[in-house]
Every structure is written in C-alpha cells, then in structure tokens.
C-alpha cells in the first residue's frame, strides 16, 4: 500500500495525475467510480483538467460501485443521478458507456450480468473507493465474503445513518443496495482509496494495520498489489 497524507485538494491533484497518465497510455481504459462525499474533490479536479484539454474520457468506459435498491435511475437520489450530475455530464465520456448497477432490476441474473459486462470490457484498470466508518467498501458491509461478486446487500443501520444526510430523514434511505462484490473490487488492476475526516481514522487504522478479516472489508486491500490511499491528516491520525 502506498499512503499519501495530504490535504483534500492535494489528494485530488495527485490522484488526477493517475487518470491523466492512464488515459494517455490507454485511452479506452475502464474506470471504476464511487459516490458519496469523498470523491467530489477528485471529480471537480478531473472536470477541470478535461476543460483544460489535459485529458479525455471519449474512449473510456466506467462502472460504478453501487446503487440503492428501489431507486430508478431518474430519481435525483440515485447514484446514477449523482454520477451524471457530478461527473459524467461535465466530461466527454459517452453516457452509454457509463454503467451503474440497476436499482430496479436487482435479480441475481442482473448482478451476474454486471460482472460479465466488466469482464467483457477487459476488467477495471483503476478503481476509486471511499470507505465506510464500519469498513465497508462499495456497499460490502462487515461480514461480506471476500469472494463476493456483484450482489444485493442489506445496508447496516450505521451506513443508513451516515447517508441520511443526503435524504430528508433516515426512513427515506433505502435499506438495500446492489454493490460490486469484494472480489469484483479486488480484480481491479489498481485501486485508489480516499478517506477524509476524523470519523474515518479508526477504520483506516484497522484497514492498514489490522488483521485481514471479513469483519473489516477494507482490510482485504492489504492483499492487493497496487493500492494507493489518499488520506487527510485527520483520517491518518491513528497511523
Ligand atoms: C459509494 C460507496 C461507499 C462510500 C462510503 C463513504 O459508492 O460505495 O463505500 O464510498 O460509504 O462515503 P462518503 O464518501 O460519503 O463518506
């Protein structure tokens, strides 16, 4: 694991370089994206660089980590809407090559198709991750098998509480999601994980130094050959 401790802005700038390098070397790269608060500074930086002509996503394909069950792609709270608004509509990636798990067709077949599509695209070159306070990556909550592929998941109370800030109340936060599995994530050729704020410090310490255990899904990243962590000083304070 390579660990960068720096400001949010510096993290966005350094990580954006990874995208510039990758897309220069491989214009049709496959990118794994995340939602939530953490990636927003990176997305703003990618948009800025696209506007300056420093990178193009014209030939790229993307796969998002997860989607809430029950939310149609047109729902403003869906992760599809989040990605369209915060990234896709502001860069040149063709929308038809951006994939987000379906929140309305959540059958096992549809989940398997998502993994098959990733494979058919050649696998994910660069996967972006945030981390939940309980160690989830994607929406793989503690206890999820390290062998999991894309699947339907039950969200924990703490995850729903953490995400209630995007809704009017916790009752509105869906209780289930469809998420890439841990194996799907680990199959990515390289991974960038961002974490910011003191509330992530404990889980970052466990993920980096703790035992590799399904109780802390992010701990599996210790076994991946190309992982970079971008932490602000608060998230890194227990390292
Ligand atoms: C988002 C995702 C989640 C978030 C995590 C952190 O697609 O899969 O694992 O990355 O819940 O969320 P924030 O960034 O809002 O703290």
Strands across the sheet containing 176-179: 66-68, 176-179, 151-154
Question: Maximum distance among all alpha carbons in the chain?
Answer: 46
Is 136 assigned a catalytic role? yes
**Inter-residue contact 117 to 206 (CB < 8 Å):** no
Ligand 1: does its nearest atom lie under 6 Å from the Cβ of 217?
no
pLDDT at 150: 98
* Active-site residue (options: 66, 67, 125, 214): 66
Band of pLDDT at residue 236, cut at 50, 70 and 90: very high
Q: Tell how far CA 213 is from the center of its chain.
A: 20
In sequence order, the 6+-apart residues with CB closer than 8 A to the CB of 49 are 16, 19, 20, 55
State what percent of residues in the chain have pLDDT above 90: 100
- The pLDDT assigned to 237 comes to 98
Separation between Cα atoms, residue 130 and residue 194, nearest integer Å:
5
Q: Name, in order, each residue with C-beta under 8 angstroms of 133's C-beta and a sequence gap of 6 or more.
A: 158, 162, 199, 200, 202, 203
> Ligand 1 within 6 A of 132 CB?
yes
Give the model's pLDDT for residue 111: 97
The pLDDT score that the predictor gives to residue 121 is: 98
Pocket test for ligand 1, best of 71, 78, 132, 153 (most atoms within 8 A of CB): 132
Token pair of 118 as six digits: 């990733």
What is the pLDDT confidence band of residue 116, given thresholds at 50, 70 and 90? very high
Please give the pLDDT value at position 126: 98
Instruction: Please report the pLDDT score of residue 2 as a whole number.
Output: 97
Structure-token match 């890194």, residue found: 236
Q: What tens digit of pLDDT does each residue of 141-157 get?
A: 999 999 999 999 999 99
Tell me the CA distances in angstroms from 183 to 54, 82, 137, 186, 239, one per residue in order: 33, 25, 11, 5, 26
- pLDDT band per the 50, 70, 90 thresholds, residue 216: very high
Q: Check residue 230 and give its pLDDT.
A: 98
- What is the average pLDDT value for the chain, to the nearest integer? 97
Tell me how far CA of residue 23 lies from CA of 26, 31, 49, 89, 166, in angstroms: 5, 10, 12, 18, 32
State the average pLDDT over residues 48-73: 97
CA 27 to chain centroid: 21
pLDDT of residue 152: 97
* 139 within ligand 1 shell (Cβ under 6 A): yes
Mutate which of 31, 36, 162 to test ligand 1's pocket (most atoms within 8 Å of Cβ)? Answer: 36
Confidence of residue 52 (pLDDT cuts 50, 70, 90): very high
């Amino acid at each position: 694991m390579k660990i960068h401790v720096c400001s949010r802005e510096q993290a966005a700038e350094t990580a954006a370089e990874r995208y510039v390098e990758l897309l220069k070397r491989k214009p049709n790269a496959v990118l794994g994206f995340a939602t939530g608060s953490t990636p927003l500074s990176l997305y703003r930086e990618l948009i800025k660089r696209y506007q300056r002509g420093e990178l193009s996503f014209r030939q790229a394909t993307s796969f998002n980590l997860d989607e809430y069950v029950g939310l149609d792609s047109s729902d403003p709270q869906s992760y599809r809407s989040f990605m369209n608004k915060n990234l896709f509509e502001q860069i040149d990636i063709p929308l038809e090559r951006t994939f987000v798990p379906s929140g309305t067709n959540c059958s096992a077949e549809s989940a398997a198709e998502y993994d098959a599509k990733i494979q058919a695209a050649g696998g994910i070159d660069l996967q972006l991750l945030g981390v939940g306070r309980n160690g989830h990556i994607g929406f793989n909550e503690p206890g999820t098998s390290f062998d999991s592929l894309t699947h339907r998941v039950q969200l924990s109370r703490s995850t729903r509480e953490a995400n209630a800030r995007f809704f009017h109340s916790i009752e509105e936060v869906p209780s289930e999601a469809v998420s890439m599995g841990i194996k799907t994530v680990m199959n990515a050729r390289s991974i960038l994980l961002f974490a910011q704020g003191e509330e992530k410090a404990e889980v970052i310490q466990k993920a980096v130094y703790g035992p590799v255990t399904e109780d802390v899904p992010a701990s599996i990243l210790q076994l991946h050959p190309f992982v970079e962590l971008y932490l602000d000083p608060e998230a890194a304070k227990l390292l």
